[in-house]
Structure 1
Amino acid sequence: WLLSSYIYSIICILGLVGNLVIIITLTCKTKHKLKTYKTKNKLKIQEVFQLNLAITNLLFTVALAFLIYNELTSWPMGQAACKLLQGSYSINLYSGMLLIAGMSVLHFVSLCSPLYSLTNFIEMKHSFIVCVSIWVFALLLSVPTFYFYQLYVPTTSPQFVCEFQFEDHDLSQIVKVAVPSVQMAVGFFLPLLVIIVCYTSIIIKLLTKKNNLTGAVHTVTGIMLVFVVCHLPHNLTLLYDTSTMFQLVACEEADRLHTALSVTEFIAYLQCCLNPVMYGFIGKNFRQNFRKTFCSTKKLENGFSLYQSSTKSIRLSSFKKPPEDAQDSDA
């Protein structure tokens, strides 16, 4: 677990930095638009989805940092923190997938549907309502996580551990299988189906156009493949793990399954680092806003220092002794 903790720490750092950059850039652009267009206060719905996705990934990496600490040492923060952190981790996991699915629908509507002009007239409050609905739906999916995660001391270790705990009876075994199955079906496989259908339709639409849109096809294909490669292996492994709960599993197979879960989990967590690149820096408009936000700050600092130096030189020149010729002429 020591090597894994270093790898997860790198993921947390990259995820924090990348998503903070996205949030700062989009927030600064929002403030600029609010000041500039007071009568026409509208933002692109795509930017609202990007902002919510960045917030989701940021909170996910924060929760992930605490969960890594839980794996290395005894859980030090009590039962309430156990439920809160695991629940927030689950909320941000599912909301991130649902937001990506929503963005794929938005791309499909804007490129392949006659309703493409609809996205230009959706107000910011409407797009926020959609995003809040996604957050609420993710919260409902995470209710079992809040309920079943408990703080306990396992028989193999004297340290407190925060994990899923079920009562030892037949009904609990059914719940133990039903809960992750429903979460995977609604929280992953449904968004996966939406993403594949939307982006496949977009790729077909782009390929049928006469214009040279090879770069756009590669971008859309990359977005779809990144989601599939990151999350499909882990969810298939979880599905297999769930199917073996009513079976006796040999120790060697259990060890292999645990290793597979750890490796695929690491691959799934890479999504929070890749999202800022796939949904932010890859877009031309975002790169322009990024330069305006961070480069303009640097220019402002340089301009302020230049103003200070010029003001200082003017003040010094005003105190210089006048030349002798000027003194003689006055005399």
Structure 2
Amino acid sequence: MFNQSDYDESCNESYCSYGDIDIVEPCSHQNNHSVALVIGPYVHSIICILGLVGNILVIVTYAFYKRTKSMTDIYLLNVAISDLLFVVSLPLIVYNELSAWPMGPVACKLLRGSYSVNLYSGMLLLACISTDRYIAIVQARRSFRLRSLQYSRVICAIVWVVALLLSIPSFYFYTWYEPSHTKSFFMIEEEESLDSGPPQYVCEFMFMDTNTAWKTKVAVPSTQLAVGFFLPLLIMVFCYSAVIVTLLKARNFQRHKAVRVVLVVVAVFIICHLPYNVTLLYDTVHMFKEQSCEAAEALQISKTVTQTIAYLHCCLNPVLYAFVGVKFRNHFRRIVQDLWCLGKKYIAPRRFSRVTSEMYVSTRRSVDGSSENGSSFTM
């Protein structure tokens, strides 16, 4: 308990001195908050809409129009499911970062844990796709033996289990609690100040001791950097480099066109994820070092912006890995045609019933009778 007679008070904007006690006001990060207020509601909303539409189309295509007949199809379907789960949880993550978390401890752990699972599974599945392309093109003689549906299902199950295991710290340490800086606990002359409003709970990391906090706050981003970025990047660079060399030896226009597709896939991956992971690496290295408010705020703004750029990749995955294939685009056109025919059938049934029925039946026949040789990721 503090008494007024113990202190001679003197203050400026961010520093107060009460006798022998120095109190430093925490950094406000107002600029980062302003950036987050723009990016959170608007940019992330666009990412959610595009990600939902693209990945739902991929899942619908595999569910109703194209069966999973190759290893690549299995990988693409799992990538779409992972990205879809991510964009569904993204609005809640943005809401948690901008305001208090009202949904309780169970939802907090599920949200943060599922985010981590989707991050690891999505990145590892992209590495699996690049390995599959390497086997199909560079190791063509072995591809029929190595690229079976049984192997692909086992590999996807392993990927999801590994992602779940790597996400255990997120499930365990993310907690719903009221941070101490939201409480008014400084007492003068034995009078407690009243809280300005209802408790403001957050969904963030919470640790019981300093040693655990130190290890976990270094281990979690380090694992994310190693397994969630550098490992997939190395696999993609190795596999696609060998694929490009093999394709360049083939004197064929379509093969050279495929080289450009591969370069775009790698370039988009690097452009989306490299800035954020470099920022995360810098933040991890300097996590426990003293920084000025200006430097800390600049780092937070960089993380906010580069993380949003990384989120864009979930919108681009359907375009890069699915719709780039000719056969997949044909299935997408059939989806649009069927939706158009069904729409006209319900809007004007008397006028268009016969025409729409014939068009719908013919469309379904063309879908069922279409050949499905090769994978949807046509090179």
Instruction: Report % sequence identity.
Output: 47
Q: Deviations over 1:79-132 (max 9, x none)?
A: 111010010011111111001000000001101114454279613x44222212
Distance 1:91 1:71, change over 3 A: same
Q: 1:44–1:119: 8 Å Cα contact kept in structure 2? A: no
Tell me, what secondary structure is at the counterpart of 1:63?
Answer: helix
Contact 1:16 1:61 (8 Å CA) reproduced: yes
Distance 1:17 1:88 in 2: 20
> 1:255: how far off?
0.5
114, 129, 151: which one aligns with 2:176: 151
Instruction: Say yes or no: does 1:43 pair with 2:43.
Output: no
Cα deviation for residue 210 of structure 1 reads: 1.9
Give me the TM-score of the superposition, normalised by structure 1.
0.84
Give per-residue Cα distances to partners, 1:26-50, cap 9 Å, x unaligned.
Answer: 11124xx5xxxxxxxx711211111
Q: Name which of structure 1's ranges 184-193 and 297-306 shifts more when overlaid on structure 2.
A: 297-306
1:19–1:276 contact (8 Å) kept in structure 2: yes
CA contact (8 A) 1:150 1:163 kept: yes
Q: Partners in 2 of 1:12 and 1:256 — Cα distance?
A: 26
Q: Distance in 2 between matches of 1:101 and 1:309?
A: 48
Residues 308 and 19 of structure 1, relative CA distance in 2, 3 Å threshold: closer
Partner of residue 207, structure 1: 248
Q: Give CA deviations for 1:262-282 in whole Å, capped at 9, x if unaligned.
A: 011010000011111101111
**More divergent stretch after superposition (103-112 vs 183-192):** 183-192
Counterparts of 2:153 and 2:114 in 1: how far apart (Å)?
20
Structure 2 SS opposite 1:43: coil
1:75 equivalent in alignment to 2:117: no
Contact preservation (8 Å) 2:71, 2:147 = no
8 A contact 2:124–2:232 mirrored in 1: yes
Whether contact under 8 Å (1:206, 1:217) holds in the other structure is: yes
Q: SS at 2:176's partner residue? A: strand
SS of 1:294 mapped into structure 2: helix
Q: Which residue of 1 aligns with 2:51?
A: 15
1:149–1:199 CA distance, 2 compared to 1 (3 A): same
Aligned to 2:5: none
Structure-2-length-normalised TM-score:
0.74
Residue 289 of structure 1: which of 331, 334, 356 is its match?
Answer: 331
Moved more, 200-209 or 90-99: 200-209
Contact 2:176 2:203 in 1 (8 A): yes
Q: Which runs of 4+ in 1 moved over 6 A?
A: none
Query: What amino acid is the match of 1:251?
Result: C
- 2:312 is the alignment partner of 1:270: yes
Asked if 2 retains the 8 angstrom alpha-carbon contact of 1:44 and 1:120, the reply is no
DSSP-derived class of the 1:151 partner: strand
- For 1:247 and 1:121, the matched residues in 2 are separated by 49
- d(CA) in 1 for partners of 2:243, 2:98: 44
Q: Indicate how the Cα distance of structure 1 residues 120 and 177 shifts in structure 2: closer, same or farther if over 3 A, else same.
A: closer
Q: Counterpart amino acid of 2:39?
A: S
Unaligned runs of 5+ in 2: 1-35, 183-198, 356-379
Q: CA deviation at 1:178?
A: 2.0
Give 1:55-204 correspondences, 5 Å limit. 55-118=81-144, 122-123=148-149, 125-157=150-182, 159-204=200-245
CA–CA distance in structure 2, aligned partners of residues 121 and 142 of structure 1: 29
- Mapped to 2, the partners of 1:171 and 1:15 lie a distance apart of 36
Letter aligned with residue 147 of structure 1? Y
Kindly report the root-mean-square deviation, in angstroms, between the aligned alpha carbons of the 2 structures: 2.2
What is the SS of the residue equivalent to 2:102?
Answer: coil
What CA deviation, in whole Å up to 9, does each residue of 1:294-317 have, x standing for no partner? 32453466687667469xxxxxxx
The whole-number CA distance in structure 2 between the counterparts of 1:115 and 1:129 is 22
Q: CA–CA distance in 2 between the matches of 1:309 and 1:247? A: 73
Question: How many residues end up aligned between the 2 structures?
Answer: 299
Question: Could you say what secondary structure the match of 1:210 adopts?
Answer: coil
Post-superposition shift, 1:64? 0.8
1:12 and 1:49 map into 2 onto residues whose CA distance is: 22
Is the 8 Å Cα contact of residues 134 and 243 (structure 2) preserved in structure 1? Answer: yes
SS of the residue corresponding to residue 4 of structure 1 reads helix
Note closer, same or farther for the CA distance 1:45–1:306 as it changes in structure 2 (3 Å cut). Answer: farther
Question: 2-side partners of 1:269 and 1:119: how far apart?
Answer: 36
Q: Which residue of 1 aligns with 2:284?
A: 242
In structure 2, the CA distance between the partners of 1:236 and 1:283, relative to structure 1 (3 Å rule), is same
Which region of structure 1 is more displaced relative to structure 2, 300-309 or 2-11? 300-309
The equivalent of 2:10 in structure 1 is: none
Is the contact between residue 166 and residue 176 of structure 1 (CA under 8 Å) also seen in structure 2? no
Distance (whole Å) between structure 2 residues aligned to residue 26 and residue 68 of structure 1: 30
